[in-house]
Amino acid sequence: MKVAIYPGSFDPITYGHLDIIHRGLKVFDKIIVAVLVNSSKTPLFSIEERKKMIREATKDIQQVEVDSFNGLLIDYVHRRKANVILRGLRAISDFEYELKIASTNRILSEEVETLFLMTNHKHSFISSANVKEMAQYGADVRELVPEHVARALQKKFSE
């Protein structure tokens, strides 16, 4: 069985991420969506909230598992006995950041490959960061994230 690890902050999951999961399943039998716990970024949503939102967004896709990890991604990839990391590329501006991550992981392990898939152009400019910024000021983000995520954002910013 071909398994890929799709790591990220997913704070929160967007249609861009879901597009990568759907595309990834054309190549892999199973995708493990792995939420990073110990990020240097300060998240809006807790790990449990993020995992719950991803589970809800992927509830009709059996080949998706949602998990979280601490520490180095490469150690997690080995623990899960996978050898491919899946990442999405939106615009050229993502490239330098992704190159750094993929190159670091290659230094740490030659056996693990990073595979990049391009998001649909409709999703090229969606990021969790701009979704949060829009939601913070009351904009309607339902075109960018699933309904339950939009509701969770609205609730978070009204607390």
Catalytic residue positions, numbered: 17, 41, 90, 128
Does 36 contact ligand PNS by CB under 6 A?
yes
In sequence order, which ranges of 72-146 are alpha helices (DSSP H)? 73-79, 95-108, 128-136
Contacts of 98 (CB under 8 A, 6+ apart): 87, 89, 114, 116
Does 8 contact ligand PNS by CB under 6 A?
yes
Residue placing its CB nearer to ligand PNS in the complex, 62 or 131: 131
Does 13 contact ligand PNS by CB under 6 A?
no
In sequence order, which ranges of 1-86 are alpha helices (DSSP H)? 15-24, 47-57, 73-79
Does 9 contact ligand PNS by CB under 6 A?
yes
CA–CA dist 90, 127 (Å, integer): 9
Among positions 82-121, residues that touch ligand PNS (CB under 6 A) are 101, 104-105
Does 37 contact ligand PNS by CB under 6 A?
no
The answer to whether 56 and 45 are in contact (CB under 8 A) is no
Does 73 contact ligand PNS by CB under 6 A?
yes
Binding site for ligand PNS (CB under 6 A): 7-9, 36, 72-74, 101, 104-105
